[in-house]
Amino acid sequence: MLPDFFDSMVQLITRTSTDLPPDVRAAMGTALATEAPATRAGQALTIIAQNIDQAESCEGPICQDTGMPTFEVRVPVGANQIWMKQQIRNAIAEATTRGKLRPNSVDSITGENSGNNLGPGTPIVHFEQWEHDEIEVKLILKGGGCENTNAQYALPADLDHLGRADRTLDGVRKCILHAVWKAQGKGCSPGAVGVCIGGDRTSGYLHAKEQLFRTLDDTNPDPRLAAIEDAVMDAANQLTVGPMGFGGKTSLIGCKIGALNRLPASYFVSVAYDCWAFRRLGVTLDAVSGAITSWLYRDGDRRSNPMLTPEQLAAGFPRTGREVRLQAPLTDEQIRSLKVGDVVLVSGRMFTGRDAVHAHLMKHDPPVDLRGAVLYHCGPVVVKDGEGWRVTAAGPTTSIREEPYQADILERYGVRIVIGKGGMGAKTLAGLKESGAVYLNAVGGAAQFYARCITRVTGVSLLEFGTPEAMWHLEVVDFPAIVTMDAHGNSLHRDIETASGDRLHTVGG
Ligand code: SF4
């Protein structure tokens, strides 16, 4: 039965995780050309471009969060869907073993990671029959940071900076703009949105996600929806949220809208936000052998056009000469000399810690001395390397999830630097001031770029939480990031959110 099907699925998963499709590359190339190289936005986009090329050349995950694998499969009448689903599950486990996917499937009751990306609800596989002889499989890998910025509105509604959104297409436009503004840098902007008008709460989100299977450069066949897509793109890119929420000219690279009928009493607008690491590919398969007959969204086996020239790629992080070098562990004096906007290059020891570690530290002493330390909000992809470990992908995760814990951890254990993405809230900002610490925003999704700043894994603690949630002990050299919250009460995130809120009122109202 379909002897090549399993291999085809492993190929599809591998390529989706490691090689961004041409339409997304083109949109990111346009964004890169729009920003001046020495700005925060320009530096972030250059790191992203390097990361995209590095991932493709080493066949490593573009982002360490390889997301929720969602398959849309169309099969001829009579195809054995039960067998195919099992083969897809086997392929997911295989791709995880090969380090192309991070173990991402967590038992919601026990918190245990299954380790192979299999479990109730993972992966998501939808089947549909069609009147063709071949099989079509599309895959999207959408990570948690951007998934957490999805939004669903029930109209009519009152929206910050935009006023009332009625049950009209203009009300829909306002909801989408509001969702983009709310996301700021938390979903690793510039992002793309899939939108559903109508449906119920469940079908609306599903249909919104399905819109992300459209190419970024297509035109909506419904001229009414095409007009809103254009209007949203125009206004969203005047918000100045910018790459990673650093401020800048590109906040959105795509807006794709669909519609479903609704109940008379309901009017939902569902927005599925995807990050710049917009990983989506597809294949058609021979229905007898299961071999790949063509690729969707890309030009066959032709290598993707690189984002940068070999010289630009070799040049690494674009420096201005104003970067501040920091060597961990850090002192109070060093930290208080930093201010929002400083670009820093961190070297020395760094410890990862995300949700499970933060919850643990609220009740237990840390497994290592954290005085003066750098705490990195990161769930890396780590593989065994002989007796040791090797990090193959290590970008930052969304920091706001640690808001309830962070200030306490700073105070109790003397952490001096927190690195993550998307920024943190008022409680942490006060904690940074009180304890003498700073928050650094690294470039979200730049997993390959940052993995290359890690020279060694010196140990691991709390591995019982699973690979992404463990506390990894790392040695890093020249790890670049931007001070976005300092020890004097300043926050770039707060400033950009306020300024972009004013812009939202002007361009979206
Ligand atoms: S690029 Fe950012 S939002 Fe997207 S999967 Fe990676 S960490 Fe999550």
The per-residue pLDDT for range 100-133, each reduced to its tens digit, is: 999 999 999 999 999 999 999 999 999 999 999 9
Indicate left, alpha or beta for 185 from its phi (over 0: left) and psi (-120 to 50: alpha): alpha
The per-residue pLDDT for range 262-314, each reduced to its tens digit, is: 999 999 999 999 999 999 999 999 999 999 999 999 987 788 889 999 888 88
CA distance 340 to 334: 14
Instruction: Specify the residue with its C-alpha closest to ligand 1, atom 1.
Output: 445
Spatial contact of 64 and 383, defined as CB atoms under 8 Å apart: no
Mean local confidence (pLDDT), 318-338: 93
Which residues, other chains included, contact 404 with Cβ-Cβ below 8 Å and sequence gap of 6+? 427
Task: Output the 3-class SS for 49-62.
Answer: HHHHHHHHHHCCCC
The per-residue pLDDT for range 435-479, each reduced to its tens digit, is: 999 999 999 999 999 999 999 999 999 999 999 999 999 999 999
As for ligand 1, residues whose beta carbon falls within 6 Å of it are 63, 65, 67, 143-146, 187-188, 275, 277, 395, 444-445
Cα 145 to Cα 160, 259, 507, distances in angstroms = 22, 25, 26
CA distance 454 to 348: 10
Q: Is 366 helix (H, G, I), strand (E, B) or coil?
A: coil
In a mutational test of the pocket of ligand 1, which residue from 62, 63, 419 has the highest number of ligand atoms less than 8 Å from its CB? 63
Residue 189 is given by DSSP the state S
Strands 381-385 and 191-198, bridge-based pairing: unpaired
Reference 389, options 487, 458, 436; nearest CA is: 458
| Ligand 1 center–CA 443 separation, angstroms | 10
CA distance 63 to 447: 5
Strands in 317-404 per DSSP E: 324-327, 343-352, 374-376, 381-385, 388-393
The pTM for the full model equals 0.94
pLDDT more than 70, % of the chain: 100
CA distance 205 to 78: 29
Dihedral angle at the C-alpha atoms of 239, 243, 249, 252, nearest 10 degrees?
-60
| Ligand 1 center–CA 393 separation, angstroms | 12
In a mutational test of the pocket of ligand 1, which residue from 275, 278, 355, 419 has the highest number of ligand atoms less than 8 Å from its CB? 275
Instruction: Specify the residue with its C-alpha closest to ligand 1, atom 7.
Output: 445
CA distance 425 to 21: 34
pLDDT at position 272: 98
